[in-house]
Structure 1
């Protein structure tokens, strides 16, 4: 008969510590979820006053202070635009850095320098430059530039790691069979990195959708969703703010689920071929 090994005291201590860590991470989020399910007389603090989906519906209605629908549309459209630019530029940069070229080190350090420079300075610089060229009133252009200074360095570093592990023998075999550079990329390279590209896209969208500091200095009078939420917290508001947090969290999990589904589909397709 096999004897089961008893767990030591350190095992229980570490498990308790991990449980407290998870509670520290997700406890505030669950508190927001619970408070968003109050009745019409609900307040911003515990105890709960009834149970209903009233405030979830109120998100889509006119608020006493602020507005949710239009800022969400701006954040969504800006996030999708940032995702496209981030994916395209990072993939092209990853391909370029597979071979060393004159000034590659300088380009590399300039690319990641925006992660070191305070975001306030980056945003102020973008605002000044766009003001000089007459685009300071076009919030989507300046916000796009500001968000790309945040998303591109991360995506660039990820793509460097992806292409650093990429086996070039697949491309060499395709060229030996007469495939052009474009055909080799779309038929050989891209299917192999597609799952990673989806991950980079999700990262770019998430960073843009949640970005506050850079956006606050270059968006002007037009708010994205994080700016609108911040503005509402400085005024008298309602549990609709918590309901918005619940809905955006569900939205984020839906995006993650779609991304994981796409990655699994591509992996199965690649294994079958």
Structure 2
């Protein structure tokens, strides 16, 4: 889970909010299923579930609109912009009608998840009661649907670090050609981009990469051979904001 920046309320929603709310109260219809609502929400999360960071739009993972404070209890917030989040069906099912006013969980547009969560053996754990309840309510360590996919992705990135390190150690700045250097740059950029918010499970991937001693070694060699670039540093800086603490 990563921090999300909520954009301004869509103008059309601001204009129609009162009417949509009344329609919901009368008919209990899905008034939030409007493109002027769903499109900005999905863009806000980079097409990912706001909680588990799976890719929305894949089979069985189409986007649903999450009412952080449950609509059945707080009808006046049914299309309140600050109450809406993009979510996958799995997380939505687990959260259900959990009352977040009574027992708060993490709203990633309000709180910074790394303040409340840490990583232990690819499993998310709570640093505090808020983090623990969030993990439990959303079942964020669901082995089949979440833990295994993020483990595979993070492991694949670690393999890429080893491959990049082999390449850069063999590269001689004085005799190497532009193609060799470009291949190294592409591979390192690919690693670091997966640690940024546009990519699935970015919090876990950023944590694993930045905590790997081989990554430190890779960066050191890149710097010494004058291959480390400003955009690599930009990607790393973004990754640092997503990184979770690691505990045994």
TM-score scaled by length of structure 2? 0.27
Bigger radius of gyration among the two: 1
TM-score scaled by length of structure 1? 0.25
Higher helix content, 1 or 2: 1
Higher strand content, 1 or 2: 2
